[in-house]
Chain A
Amino acid sequence: MNKIKFKIDGKSVEVEQGKTILYAAKQVGVEIPTLCHNEKISRTTSCFVCVVKDLKTGKYLPSCSACPTEGMEVDVSSKEVQDVRKTALNLLLSEHSGDCEAPCTVACPAHASVEEYVRAGKNGDFLKSLKIIKERIPLPLSIGRVCPRFCEQDCRRNIHDKAVAINDFKRFAADMYYDEYMEELPELTGKKVAIIGGGPGGLGSAYFLRLKGIECTIFEKMPKPGGMLRYGIPEYRLPKNILDKEIKHFEKMGIEIKCNVELDKDIYLKSLKKDFDAVLIAVGSWKPSSMRCEGENLADGGISWLEQIARADWTGENPGKTIVIGGGNTAMDCLRTSVRLGSNDVSCFYRRTEKEMPAEDIEIEEAKEEGVNFCFLTAPLALRKDKNKLILTCQKMKLGEPDASGRKRPIPIPNSEYDVEADTVISAIGQKTIAPKDCKTNRWGDVDATEANMKMYENVFAAGDCVSGPATVVEAVATAFTAAEGIASFFKNQDYKAPYTINVSRGHWNSLGVDDLVYLKELKKGDRVPQRLIDIDKRTTTMQEVSATFTAEELKREGERCIECSCTAKGDCKLKEYSEDYNASPEAIKGDKFKSGYDNRHPEIIHDREKCIKCGVCIKICSEVVNESLLGLKDRGFTAKVGTAMDRVLPEFCKDCGACVEECPVGALAWKNKTS
C-alpha cells in the first residue's frame, strides 16, 4: 500500500493512500468532530462539522471525505477552522427543534432530573427515584412538602389540563424510603469547611461537600438546626418530627452540627478562616422589612412572630383579632397560624389584588377555606394604640401601570383612608439579610458572592438566602450545589464555572398548542389526582399536617400523565455535545424552522423529523447495512426531510433491527420507550 506523507497542524503524518484526513488525524490522536461520518457506511459528507483547511489552496475540506495528498498541509485546529465548525453547528441548531431537557428540569432551580425521577416512580422504583432526586435535592422530605413547584408551573401537561403532581413524587419517595437510603460516601480528603447556618443553604452545602469527601462542621445559632424550615415554616406545613428525621440523615452522613453557636458572638470569621480550609456563610435572611409607616413598631414582624411560636413548639396565645399585612407565603403562614392559635377573625391586607399576590395559589386557597378574610387594594398608613386595641389606618388603592417587577403598581386613592381595630397586627412584607461582619454586601444588603462559584473572597464562600435575599428552599439548595463545587474547585486551586450547556426548547407551554408537542405514545387521559387534606375542623384547631402524602397507586397515575418532553437522545446527542464544545448556541442564528412534523405510527420507533440534521446516516445504514432501503431523503433545500416511500409507516418488521436508531447522531430516530 502506498503511503502518503502530509502535515496535520505542522506535524508530519503518514497514512495509507485512500484514507481520509479524519482517519489520519485519529491515528495521531487528533479528534475532529463529525456528525455525519459513520464507519459502517460509505462516505456521506453533509454536516461540514469536520471541516479542515488546506493551507496551500486555502480551501475548506470535509475531512471525512477528503483524502490527503502528498505534501499537503492541513490545519485542523486554528481559530478560523473552529469558527467554521461553530457556524455549521449554529446553522444546524437554528433549524433544530425539540427539547434537549424537559421544561420541568429547566425550571427547577436545582435542575433535578424531574422526568427521570417521575418515570422511576411511575414504574414503582421509588428508591431509584429518591436517588435521582437526591443528586440535586438534599432535603426531599422538606422540599417534597414546601416547594412552590417551579417545575409544575412549566409542565407541558398544562396544555391539556393540569401539571403532573411532580413534587409529590419527592415527598412519597422520601417518606417511604428515607430510612433505607444512604449515599455512597467517599473517603474524606482531609479538607474541612466551617458552615455558618444550619438552614437549607448550610445543610445543602454540607451535603454536597460531604459527597466530595470534604468534612463539614455546621455552626447554628438557634437551639436546633433547620433554619427557616424549623423557625419559619409552620408545623402544619412541615411537621418538625419530619424535619428532625431529615436532619438526622445529615448526622448519619457524618456532618457535625453545633447549635447555640452564634457568629460574631461565640465564633469569628477571622479565626474560622484560619482553623478551617474554607468557610461558608449561610446565615439566611431573617430581618422583617419595614412597612415604612407611622407606628410600625407596634406591629409584629412576620418572621419574628413565627419564630417565637416555633420556639414554643408551635403553641401560643390566641392572638385575637389579627391583621396580617402582605401577600407572600410568610403572610399566609402568619394568617393560618393565627387561625390555629384560636383566632376567629383573621384578615389579610394586601395593596394589590389577588392576581398580583406572590403567595402560592394553593396557600391562598387553603387560607380562604380556613376562614381567612382578604382585603385587597388596601395599604397601611399608620398604626396606633388605643387602650388595649391597635388602630390601623388604611388607604384604598387602585392599580396603575406595571412596575419593574412586571406587576401593576398600586396607586393610592385620595380621601379613602379609614381605620380598623385589631388585637394583633403582623407585618409580613418581606425580609432583609443581616450580613455578618467582614462580609461585603450588594445594593440590596445581601451578601455579595460571585454567582458562578459563590465565592466571596479568599477562602470564604456563601450560599442560601443571605446571598439571594429571601427565596425558596429549593433555590437555597441550588446555590449550595454551586458553593460546594466552588469550594471543591478552590481546593484544587481552580475557579469553578458551570460547564457551558445549551438547551434547545420548543418554547413555554403557554405559547404552544396541543399540536406543537411531540407525543411518544398516545396521550394518557386523566385529570390530576386531587390533593387529599385533613378535615377542616382539624385544620383550624390543630397544627397537624394539612396535606397527605400521595399513594403509590396515585403516583403511578400521575406518572402516566407525564408527556416525557425531553429529548429521546438526552446524553447521547452529538449535536449538543459538539455545540457545547464549540460554544455554539441555538440563539446565535435566528430564522424559520421547517415544520416537517413527526411520525409515531411505528409501535417502537419515533421519527421526529424536526430534530433531523439530514446527515443521511439512517438512509445509508438501512440500505447498505440492513439491505432494506426503507428510508430516503425527500424534497429539496430547506424543506428536505428523511422519510419513507409514499410516506408509509415504517414496517413493523424493521423494529428488530433499530440500526438507524442506534446510529442517529441526534434524537430524530429513537426508541419510544425511554429507559433511563
Chain B
Amino acid sequence: MIKTIRVGMGSCGIAAGADEVLEKLREKTSIKIEAVGCIGFCYAEPLVEIITKDSSVFYRNVKPTNKNILDILDLSEEGRLNIPKKRLEKGLTKVLHLAGRVDPLSIEEYMQNNGFEALRKTSALSPEDVVEEVKISGLRGRGGGGFPTGLKWSFLANKKADTKVLICNADEGDPGAFMDRSLMESVPYQILEGMLIAAYATGAHKLFIYCRAEYPLAIKHLKYAIKKIETHELNVIHGKKISIIIKEGAGAFVCGEETALIASLEGKRGTPRFRPPFPTDSGWNQFPTLINNVETFANIPMIINEGGENYAKIGTEKSKGTKLFALAGDLKYPGLIEVPMGTTLAEIVFDVGGAKKEEVKAVQIGGPSGGCIPVELFDTPIDYDSLTSLGAIMGSGGLIVIGSNRCMVETARYFLDFTHRESCGKCTFCRIGTKRMFETLERITEGNGKVEDLTFLREMGDKVKKASLCGLGQTAPNPVLATLRYFIDEYNEHVYNSNCPTLECSALVDVEIDKNGCIECGLCIKNCAVNAISDDFVIDNNICTRCNSCIEVCPKNVISRTHKGEGYYSE
C-alpha cells in the first residue's frame, strides 16, 4: 500500500522533465504526492520515490508516459534505482539528510524533523556559548577559503556596534557547481535556521542573502520560507524582530568574493577591495559584517543539535564535518554528494562516482580556479590543507573528473577562458595577465606555441597569483600551473611537435573515414553541416569544422580523429 509519493522537483529534476511526471502522477492517482528537493542523483532524474508502509523505492529516469507511471504505481521491479553499494558506504548524509525527503516549503514538515530545535536550544545558551560551540565543532568556511567559522563569528560578536550585519553568500558562481542551489531549493529552512543562530550568536540584526538571479527556484523557496518564519515569529532574536532580505545578483563570478559582494549589495559595481579592513571590522556600509556561505549555515543546526564535540568527530584533524561536492565530468554517477572530510579522491571518483580507474586522468577540484590533481595522487584525503599543498583548492565544491581522453592543455585553456572573462577588470595582473596567459594557451592548443611560452605561463601565473587583490586573480592561474606541474609532457608535445596526444585540440587533428569498414550508408554525409564529405566518402579537412557529428553518427565507428597529417590518406 503506497503511503506517499515524492517527486524530485529541484531545478535538476524539472530540467529532466519532473514536472510532467508529477502532472501525470496526479492524473493517475489520488495518493498524496510531495514535490521534494534533490537527493543528488542527477544521472537518474526524474526521480520518483514511492513510500509504502514499510519500505521506500526509488524509480529512476521516469518518463511521463501512462505505462511508465502505472508501472511505478504498481511497484514494478523495472526502472528501480539501485543505489550503488559503495556510494552508500562512502557517502555520509548529514547536511543533506532532509534534502529530497521533505517538502522544502513546508515549515511543519521541517519542524517535524527536528527543525528549529537548534534555534530553540540556542536561546537557552548565551551568545558566547553558541560561538564557542561552533569553535569546538572545528567547522571551516565552506565557500572555499576554509576560515574557521567560530573564529569569524567571534570577531563580529566581540564588536561593539549598534548595527551588525550578517550575509549569506549564495552567489554560487563556479560553472558546474550546484551545492548551494540544491540546499536552498531543498532545505531552505535549514539555512535560515543557521542564519538565525548566527544572528543570535553575533548580535547581527541586519540579515541578507545574496543570491544569483539565475536561481529563481531557490529564491522562490527562500522567500516563501522567510515569510513562514515571520508568521511563526521565529525571527525574533534578542527580542528584536529581524528581517532577512534577499538580494539578487546579476551573475558576476567575482561577486562571490566577499568584498565585491558587499560592494554589490551596497548598490555599487561588484569590485573587490583590499583587505584589511576585513568585513567583520568594516563591511556593508562600513558596519561590521559577517559573511558565510550557504553550506556553512546549513551545517549550524546540526552542530547545535549534536554538539560541537560530536560534530568534530567527523573528518580529519584540521577539517571537520562533511563536505558537499557537485560531481561532474567523465564518470558514471554525476550528481550531488556528501562525504566526510578525509575521504580520498579515489573513494569519491571511483567508489561514489563510479568512474573506471583506467579511464580517469585527473580531477579538477575547486571550480575553474581550482587545480588539477592527477590520478597518481588520488589517495589524497579531502581536506583544506592537503589540497592546497597540491596546488588545488577545496573551493566551494565543484569536482570535475577528467577522462584519460581529455587534453590537459585544452582543459587549462577552457578554465582560463572562463576566469579571464570574469575578472572584474580592475587589477592589472588579473585583467591583462590572465588574458595574455589565455592567448598563449590558445596559441599552444593551435600548435603555434613556443618553448618560451611555457616559461611565460609559469612566471606570469606566479605573478598573477601573488599580485592580485582578490581570490579570483589569486587562484585563476591554478589550472594552468597545476597542469604544467603534472602534465608537462602534454604541453611539450603541443609545443615541440604541434601534436595533441589525445586528439582533442581541433586545430591539430584531421577527421578521416576508414574506408575498409565503411558501409557507405551516407549518414555522415547527411549529418555534416558544412558538406565536407564527398560522395565517395572522403572528408575535406579544409572544410571540416571538427564538430564530431559524423563520428557520433557512424554506425560502424570507422570515422575518427587522427593526428594532423598522419591519417590513412595523408601524403
Contacts and interface: CB of A to CB of B under 8 A. Distances in A.
Interface in A48-63: 48-49, 51, 59-60, 62
Contacts, number: 98
A483 to B, nearest CB: 39
Given A43-B274, A45-B469, A62-B469, A635 B425 contact: yes
B467 A51 contact: yes
Interface in A499-523: none
Interface in B410-438: 420-429, 431-436
Contacts of A632: 269
B429 A48 contact: yes
Contacts of B467: 48, 51, 60, 62, 84, 88
B432 A636 contact: no
Contacts of B433: 87, 91
Interface in B224-259: 252, 254
A591 B425 contact: no
B517 interface: no
Contact of A633 (B269, B276, B429): B269
A183 interface: no
B273 interface: yes
Contact of B421 (A45, A84, A591, A637): A637
Given A87-B463, A633-B269, A640 B432 contact: no
Nearest to B268: A632
Interface string A30-53: 000000000000010111110100
A49 B420 CA distance: 20
A614 B423 CA distance: 13
A616 interface: yes
Contact of A47 (B274, B428, B436, B468): B428
A592 interface: yes
B428 A92 contact: yes
Given A633-B425, A635-B425, A640 B431 contact: yes
A59 B429 CA distance: 15
B14 to A, nearest CB: 30
Contacts of A635: 425
B460 interface: yes
A616 B273 CA distance: 12
B466 interface: yes
Interface-central residue, B273, B422, B423, B425, by most chain A CB under 10 Å = B425
B439 interface: yes
Contacts of A45: 273-274, 426-427, 469
B271 interface: yes
A343 interface: no
A60 B428 contact: no
B429 A636 contact: no
Contacts of A591: 432, 435-436, 439
A67 interface: yes
Nearest to B420: A637
B436 A640 contact: no
Contact of A637 (B269, B271, B428, B435): B435
Given A60-B467, A87-B463, A639 B425 contact: yes
A633 B252 CA distance: 14
Contact of A59 (B423, B435, B436, B466): B466
Interface-central residue, B426, B436, B466, by most chain A CB under 10 Å = B426
B429 A637 contact: no
Contacts of B254: 636
Nearest to B276: A67
Interface in B263-319: 269, 271, 273-274, 276
Contacts of B468: 48
Nearest to A58: B466
Nearest to B465: A60
Interface string A579-596: 000000000010110000
A42 to B, nearest CB: 9
Contacts of B420: 637-638
A649 B198 CA distance: 48
Nearest to B459: A87
A636 B439 contact: no
A92 B436 CA distance: 11
A88 B428 contact: yes
Nearest to B252: A636
B423 A633 contact: no
Interface string A89-124: 001101100000000000000000000000000000
Interface in B491-540: none
A661 B439 CA distance: 33
B436 A94 contact: yes
A84 B432 contact: no
A635 B426 CA distance: 11
A66 interface: yes
A48 B421 CA distance: 20
A644 interface: no
A642 to B, nearest CB: 10
Contact of A636 (B273, B274, B422, B460): B422
Nearest to B269: A633
Contacts of B431: 614, 637-638, 640
Interface in B383-421: 420-421
Interface in A298-331: none
Contacts of A592: 435, 439
A153 interface: no
Contact of A616 (B276, B421, B426, B432): B426
Given A43-B274, A65-B274, A591-B439, A91 B422 contact: no
B436 A636 contact: no
Interface in B434-478: 434-436, 439, 460, 463, 466-469
Contacts of B422: 636-637
Contact of A589 (B252, B425, B426, B436): B436
A84 B425 CA distance: 19
Contacts of B436: 91, 94, 589, 591
A62 B271 contact: no
Contacts of A638: 420-421, 423, 425, 431-432, 435
Interface in A113-155: none
A616 B269 CA distance: 12
A632 B268 CA distance: 10
Contacts of B274: 43, 45, 62, 65-66
A87 B460 contact: yes
A528 to B, nearest CB: 41
A638 B421 CA distance: 7
A263 B442 CA distance: 64
A633 B271 contact: yes
Nearest to B460: A87
Contacts of A92: 428, 432
Given A45-B273, A48-B467, A592-B435, A91 B426 contact: no
Contact of B426 (A46, A59, A84, A88): A46
A49 B429 CA distance: 10
Interface in A395-452: none
A48 B463 CA distance: 11
Given A614-B425, A638-B435, 18 more contacts: A43-B273, A45-B426, A45-B427, A47-B428, A49-B428, A62-B274, A87-B429, A87-B433, A91-B429, A91-B432, A92-B432, A94-B432, A94-B436, A591-B432, A632-B269, A636-B425, A637-B422, A638-B432
16 contacts: A48-B427, A48-B467, A51-B467, A60-B467, A87-B433, A91-B432, A91-B436, A92-B428, A95-B432, A95-B435, A633-B271, A635-B425, A636-B252, A636-B422, A636-B424, A640-B426
Interface of A: 43, 45-49, 51, 59-60, 62, 65-67, 84, 87-88, 91-92, 94-95, 589, 591-592, 613-614, 616, 632-633, 635-640
Interface of B: 252, 254, 269, 271, 273-274, 276, 420-429, 431-436, 439, 460, 463, 466-469
Q: Kindly list the 10 A-B residue pairs having the minimum CB-CB distance in the complex, ordered from nearest.
A: A640-B425, A65-B274, A91-B432, A638-B435, A637-B423, A60-B466, A46-B426, A60-B467, A637-B421, A45-B274
